[in-house]
Amino acid sequence: MKKVRIEEAVGMVLGHEVVRITPGEGGVLPFQRGYVVREEDIPRFLEIGKEHIYVVEGDEPDIHENEAALRIARATVGEGLRVDGGRGGGARLKAGATGVLKINVPLLDEINGLGDFAIGTRHNWTACREGESVAMVKIMPLYVPEAKLLSVENLCRDKGRILDVLPFRIQKAGAVITGSEVYKGRITDRFADVLARKVEPFGVSLAHAIIVPDDVEAIARAISELHAAGCEVIFACSGMSVDPDDVTMDGIRASGADVIMEGVPMMPSAILGLAMLRNVPVLGTPAGVLRGGVTALDGVLPMIFAGMKPRVADIIAMGHGGFCLEKYAF
């Protein structure tokens, strides 16, 4: 590649794309890589501020930015993703299914540390719809050494892909509504309606809701009934607070479920409980969910509805970004 003044470039081969940016309209490509510059093109180059350009000089030993972006993108994508682009030194990674984005964060960091390119993604365990962009590869120089691209491809072959989109699989949920005040009719339950609205966007129906008193055996029995009825996720709803009458987690344990965590590093509703009854997640769901807005429950639902068993390490990592805001404004 050689840098030349545009007036001296007539008859030479353009070595890069030239983009014209118009405010409010985005960018267009009036000149593509490989274009042979003509005398009449000079005013157009100057109008978009291109007094100098890079031209191809002999055989190019390295890989052009567009091809490099595609190679890195294809090396990093796993299940449920497709690659779109290879223009302007960039490539977008789009969800091939509606599901949850799963990212190998240590490998992402390692590859981003190699230099000459960058991979930016959405947050790990983010819900996404089919066709949405979830990541982008951007090449910094016009050409990248072949050896560096091979390093990325070898890392992804040896350590796995960076990104997967796991499709939502759960269809049927059930809820155990605890509280003697609800069971005895002193107040009307609100949990079932709130949960039904939360799960519906994931294609999940709240098929059953059982109201029980604050009693360990009653809670355990209701959880077992929902499990037997084929519920793929079970919500055990209560105050989940420091309350002598609240025995929800005891009831979850009494059902035979294995408790994974009691409390998560996300707020509000950090007292969320996570357990597994054989292959079915049981979520101790705190009353804070009733207030509306984004809570810790929303943080774990995409993972749960993709059929993933919650791992302690994954939940702990959610503390970074775990202070939930109903909306962001500055």
Domain boundaries, the chain: 2-55, 63-165, 172-317
How much is the pLDDT for 180?
Answer: 86
Ranges of the chain whose pLDDT falls below 70: 24-29, 58-61, 240-242, 244, 326-330
Residue pair 287/177 in contact (Cβ under 8 Å)? The answer is no
How much is the pLDDT for 47?
Answer: 87
Omega before 268 within 30 of 0, i.e. cis: yes
- DSSP string covering 170-239: --EEEEEEE-HHHHTTSS---HHHHHHHHHGGGT-EEEEEEEE-S-HHHHHHHHHHHHHTT-SEEEEES-
How much is the pLDDT for 262?
Answer: 93
Evaluate if pTM is beyond 0.85: no
How far apart, in Å, are the Cα atoms of 285 and each of 236, 280, 282, 316? Answer: 6, 15, 9, 18
Residue 22, both tokens: 């118009």
The single residue listed with the structure tokens 């560096």 is: 148
Q: How far is CA 253 from the centre of its chain?
A: 31
How much is the pLDDT for 292?
Answer: 82
Assigned CATH for 2-55: 3.90.105.10
How much is the pLDDT for 291?
Answer: 86
Give 171-211 pLDDT, tens digit per residue: 999 999 998 889 998 999 999 999 999 999 999 999 999 99
Measure the CA–CA gap between 214 and 251, rounded to whole angstroms. 9
- CATH 3.90.1170.30 matches 63-165: yes
Give 10-26 pLDDT, tens digit per residue: 888 887 778 777 776 65
Measure the CA–CA gap between 281 and 275, rounded to whole angstroms. 6
| Domain 172-317: CATH superfamily, name plus number | MoaB/Mog-like domain (3.40.980.10)
How much is the pLDDT for 25?
Answer: 60
Residue pair 153/112 in contact (Cβ under 8 Å)? The answer is no
How much is the pLDDT for 28?
Answer: 66
Residue type (1 letter), 155: L
Task: Give the orientation angle of helix 105-112 with respect to helix 146-159, to 10 degrees.
Answer: 170
Contacts with 62 (C-beta within 8 Å, 6 or more apart), sequence order: 143, 144, 145, 146
How much is the pLDDT for 48?
Answer: 85
